Amino acid sequence: MAAKKSLDAIRNIGIMAHIDAGKTTTTERMLFYSGRVHKLGEVDKGTATMDWMSQEQERGITITSAATACNWRDFIINIIDTPGHVDFTVEVERSLRVLDGAVGIFCAVAGVQPQSEAVWRQADRYKVPRIAYINKMDRIGADFFQAVKMIREKLGANTIPVQIPIGVEDSFQGVIDIIAKKAYVYDDERGEHYQSRDLTDEEAVEAQKHYSFMLEKLAEYDDEILEKYLEGYEISVEEINRSLRIATISNKVVPVLCGSSFKNKGVQMLLEAIVGYLPSPLDMPPVKGMHPMTGEMLERYPDLEEPFSALAFKVAVDPYVGKLTYFRIYSGKLKNGAYVMNPGKDKRERITKILRMHANHREEIEEANAGDIVAGVGLRDTVTGDTLCAEKSEILLESINFPEPVIDVAIEPKTKADQDKIGESLKRLAEEDPTFRTKMDEESGQTIISGMGELHLEIIIDRLLREFKVNANVGKPQVSYKETIKKRSRAEYKFEKQTGGRGQFGHVVLELLPAEEGQGKRFINRSNPEQIPKEFVPAVEKGALEALQAGILAGYPVDDLEIILIGGSFHEVDSSEPAYKIAAAMAVKEALKNAQTALMEPIMDIEILSPEEYVGDVISDLNARRGRVLGLDENRESKLVKGSVPLAETFGYATSLRSLTQGRASFSMLLKNYAELPESKSKEIIARRYGLPV
């Protein structure tokens, strides 16, 4: 029973939002008011506990998701503070995969911004229950009700305000609790003390309006509330909170709170809402997986008596303890020094230390249980998305999907010593970050590193030079183009080699078919086992997919197509896996020649917030960059220009926009899709790729 009680008192939550909405500041305040830290950390001064990397402190942004824990009343809240910048979207993705609930933070001035929309959709995908917190109520232009309206309309969220602000901008003093019908007013700078008072007549009228709205919403999902509401009975605070909790956990409603984290107002009520409305591990459905050998579907319940199962969601290199693997335990318990299985890699691993993390500080613990988020030392082969489980009760949990990189940079070590160092350093960085890829350019001999955006690669290069002490020349960022096919194509290739003794024989017939944008590469086997025995099909698949890594137009990866193996033949003695692999690769190259290949480029969704007097210049500049304006929204004194623009045209855009608008405009971008390049641009890129005159 004690175990059940402790699980019931755990909250695993993420803090997510657009860049600069106040995620890290809010987390810092939570840690302060819960007694986890004794000094208020500030992002702008580089003193935030959660932004511990030097790159984060210098830029005043969060780059890597940091995990911590605090106690509020009798509850343990495990918090992951995620980045808001689009380049680090993977940090949000992997955190949401292992969390039970989330707090979406919105700026009271800007409301729903592009990245807050992106992270909200990520949370939708993982069905994560949420509460919304409208921050920065003290800022000029703050509008609580407009922000709530935007969350409802833009995100499709069924919002229920459980608080409304007292005052706004400079006169923001506190909040009205709609459920308890009380006002909470802050009277000191540090926000540690606040007074509770009765509502004024004017406040009571406003609160009653929102109270009725809340009951009407809850009555849609709760028959007890509906019955009491229709018959005019008094509904207690406990009944409303119980009903709100159930509706939030089942993703039917989103409670909305407000405050100003920077001015230390409203954070204690947010902590109350987290423990009150967001789920414990016991409220979540059992985690599903399959048996790695039989494929049988399995479930694991959040119970200490169940076999151990966990998902690794992050790898970090710690200068003191080496490789740290963060994982969420879904069932069972884990002791220090225990052996676990990594069923995806069929490896047995030993956990030498279990650590409870507080940003970059570590606390060694002897045992971790279901519901815990901890880090382990000693896991050599485990990477992000891998399952860890008990040796005799294997289960393979669903992994995490990561987006493809869109931008490349060439990097060249300066000396032979740097050459050796760079390989090891890049390997360690790629282990930490699944959206960071490296490859060798065979023609130039350079190492090409790929990432999610200019800032992403800038941070990686900064870490290479500073953290790993690698001396290297770094090229200019280049767009990660793709190639695709526009028509069906068929090819056949027979690989025969006789070198005395046993020969090599592989023969395949395959077809390439265009697929929809974003579908990726798919291999389908429609051959007859009499033509190609089953044991050779994986070699055909491997050869075919490897051949797509460099297309025939300009050597870019080929994507969005289906490869269908339709036939071939085999030789009883000479057939071998290498022969089929080569035959498949050559057949794909042949088929690409007749498939009408085209170059594709990444297109970004862009939103530019600009003072009205500069909007004309901003739009002209966007059009000159092959961009399209898709809409223009009023945003108080500013205009919000919405559009799309090719990524290739956005390098250095921040500097351009600054000079166009005297530094008064801001913008944000998000990958929208890949689209075919205009013919003139395509010819230019192909010529440049092969060093020909443009």
Q: Which two tokens stand for residue 506?
A: 């592989």
Q: What is the mean pLDDT of the chain?
A: 86
pLDDT, residue 407, reads 82
Region of poorest pLDDT, from 226-230, 290-294, 651-655, 672-676: 651-655
Label residue 44 by pLDDT band (50, 70, 90): very low
Burial class (CB in 10 A: 0-12, 13-18, 19+), 192: exposed
pLDDT, residue 453, reads 76
What mean pLDDT is predicted for residues 267-273? 95
Higher pLDDT, 93 or 623: 623
Higher pLDDT, 478 or 615: 615
Q: Which of 185-194, 196-205, 603-612 has the highest mean pLDDT?
A: 196-205
Say yes or no to pLDDT of 84 above 70. no
Dmax of the chain from CA atoms? 100
Q: What are phi and psi of 484, to 5 degrees?
A: -145, 175
Higher pLDDT, 2 or 693: 693
pLDDT, residue 617, reads 94
What mean pLDDT is predicted for residues 660-670? 82
Region of poorest pLDDT, from 7-16, 38-47, 377-386, 544-553: 38-47
> What does the angle CA 144 – CA 256 – CA 196 come to, to the nearest 5 degrees?
85
What mean pLDDT is predicted for residues 339-348? 93
pLDDT, residue 238, reads 94
Say yes or no to pLDDT of 562 above 50. yes
Distance CA 238, CA 645 (A): 51
Say yes or no to pLDDT of 468 above 90. no
Q: 288, 195 in Cβ contact below 8 A? A: no
Higher pLDDT, 691 or 12: 12
The type of residue at 128 is: V
Say yes or no to pLDDT of 195 above 70. yes
Q: Which of 439, 456, 440, 445 is nearest to 403 (CA)?
A: 456
CA 69 centroid distance within chain: 21
Q: What share of the chain is helix, strand, coil (3-state, %, to 5)?
A: 30, 35, 35
End-to-end CA distance of the chain: 74
DSSP 86: G
Say yes or no to pLDDT of 88 above 70. no
Q: Which of 519, 503, 560 is nearest to 676 (CA)?
A: 560
pLDDT, residue 64, reads 52
Q: In this prediction, what percent of the chain has a pLDDT beyond 90? A: 46
DSSP 664: -
pLDDT, residue 414, reads 83
Per-residue HEC secondary structure of 142-186 comes to CCHHHHHHHHHHHHCCCEEECEEEECCHHHCCEEEECCCCEEEEE
Instruction: Flag whether the pTM goes above 0.75.
Output: no
Q: Read off the pLDDT of residues 353-372 as tens digits, 9 standing for 90 and up.
A: 998 877 667 788 999 999 99
Say yes or no to pLDDT of 651 above 60. yes
Q: 340, 389 in Cβ contact below 8 A? A: yes
Q: Which two tokens stand for residue 66?
A: 């940091």
Long-range contacts from 297-305, C-beta under 8 angstroms, 24+ separation: 298/395, 300/330, 300/331, 300/332, 300/395, 301/331, 302/7, 302/330, 302/331, 302/370, 302/371, 303/3, 303/7, 303/331, 303/332, 303/370, 304/3, 304/7, 304/332, 304/333, 304/369, 304/370, 305/332
What mean pLDDT is predicted for residues 186-208? 88
Residue 68 DSSP SS3: strand
pLDDT, residue 3, reads 41
Label residue 505 by pLDDT band (50, 70, 90): very high
Q: Read off the pLDDT of residues 226-244 as tens digits, 9 standing for 90 and up.
A: 998 888 888 999 999 999 9
pLDDT, residue 38, reads 67
Label residue 334 by pLDDT band (50, 70, 90): very high
Q: What are phi and psi of 549, to 5 degrees?
A: -70, -20
Say yes or no to pLDDT of 90 above 90. no
Label residue 418 by pLDDT band (50, 70, 90): confident
Say yes or no to pLDDT of 533 above 70. yes
What mean pLDDT is predicted for residues 587-600? 94
Which residues lie across from 354 on neighbouring strands? 365, 376
Say yes or no to pLDDT of 455 above 80. no
What mean pLDDT is predicted for residues 347-355? 92
What mean pLDDT is predicted for residues 303-326? 84
Q: Which of 500, 606, 596 is nearest to 551 (CA)?
A: 596
pLDDT, residue 52, reads 37
Say yes or no to pLDDT of 408 above 80. yes
The type of residue at 549 is: Q
Residue 535 DSSP SS3: helix
Label residue 694 by pLDDT band (50, 70, 90): low
Long-range contacts from 544-549, C-beta under 8 angstroms, 24+ separation: 544/510, 544/584, 544/585, 544/587, 544/588, 545/521, 546/581, 546/585, 547/584, 547/585, 547/586, 547/588, 547/589, 548/521, 548/588
Region of poorest pLDDT, from 263-277, 307-321, 677-691: 307-321
What mean pLDDT is predicted for residues 273-282? 96
Q: In this prediction, what percent of the chain has a pLDDT beyond 70? A: 91
pLDDT, residue 61, reads 44
Distance CA 260, CA 272 (A): 16
Distance CA 545, CA 34 (A): 52
